[in-house]
Amino acid sequence: MTLLFFDPRETITRSLVSKLFSLSDNPIIQAIQNDRYYCFLAPLTLPALPVSVYFHWLTMKLFKHA
């Protein structure tokens, strides 16, 4: 499996589980722990996924028959 820059599993883990751990010395993890809205990123991205897949399929279908 190819690792991408944006790995959904890591995003979910960071956003939901990072609040449960103690404060970190890593500035990136510390910024994630202190942010109020990062924990909503993965749950709000999931409903947009089927819509984007549908529009991708639709544009490829239209391009194929043009």
The C-alpha angle with vertex 28 and arms to 25 and 30, in degrees rounded to 5, equals: 50
Assigned token pair, 44: 């709000």
Answer yes or no: pTM beyond 0.75. no
- When the pLDDT of each residue in the chain is averaged and rounded to a whole number, the result is 77
Say if residue 62's pLDDT is above 70: yes
CB 28 within 8 A of CB 10: no
Q: What is the DSSP string of 17-51?
A: HTTTSPPPSSHHHHHHHH-SSGGGHHHHHTTHHHH
> 2-11, 20-29, 31-40: which range is least confident on average?
2-11
pLDDT tens track for 28-53: 778 877 777 777 777 788 888 899 99
Domain ranges (residues) in the chain: 8-64
Q: Which pLDDT does position 43 carry in this prediction? A: 78
